[in-house]
């Protein structure tokens, strides 16, 4: 019997990698969304492949995508929490920007 490819392996890997980039932007919330989608798709393929693993040739790619999605999710959550703490402490994004400018001027 010819081996098949799991349908969501590539897209979950791509979403997991993009979640690393997205965790640095949009206060980490974009990374949380992309990582969650990648993790869902990877887990879905994992359940399909666990029934008959020798039938699928890219099961290793699904495991890699799942690991990357978990790491991206953890980083995104950490960055989101840090951003929320900054907003709570300073009151607004503008206050954070003013503080950053003051710190740059103090170093110069």
pLDDT category of residue 1 using cuts at 50, 70 and 90:
low
Residues in the chain: 108
Q: Does residue 14 carry a pLDDT above 80?
A: yes
φ, ψ for residue 4 (rounded to 5)?
A: -110, 165
In the chain, where does DSSP find H-type helix?
A: 9-22, 29-51, 59-90, 93-107
- Write down the pTM of the prediction: 0.81
Using alpha carbons only, what angle is made at residue 25 by residues 19 and 30, rounded to the nearest 5 degrees? 45
Phi, psi of 59 (to 5 degrees): -65, -30
Q: In which residue are the tokens 């170093």 written?
A: 107
Q: Where are the domains of the chain?
A: 9-83
Query: Which pLDDT belongs to residue 42?
Result: 95
């Amino acid at each position: 019997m010819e081996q098949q490819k799991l349908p969501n392996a590539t897209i979950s890997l791509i979403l997991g990698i993009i979640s690393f980039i997205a965790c640095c932007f949009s206060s980490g919330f974009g990374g949380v969304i992309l990582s969650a989608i990648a993790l869902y798709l990877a887990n879905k393929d994992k359940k399909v492949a666990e029934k008959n693993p020798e039938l699928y040739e890219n099961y290793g790619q699904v495991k890699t995508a799942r690991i990357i999605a978990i790491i991206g999710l953890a980083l995104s959550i950490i960055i989101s929490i840090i951003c929320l703490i900054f907003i709570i402490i300073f009151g607004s994004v503008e206050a954070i920007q003013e503080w950053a400018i003051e710190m740059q001027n103090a170093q110069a």
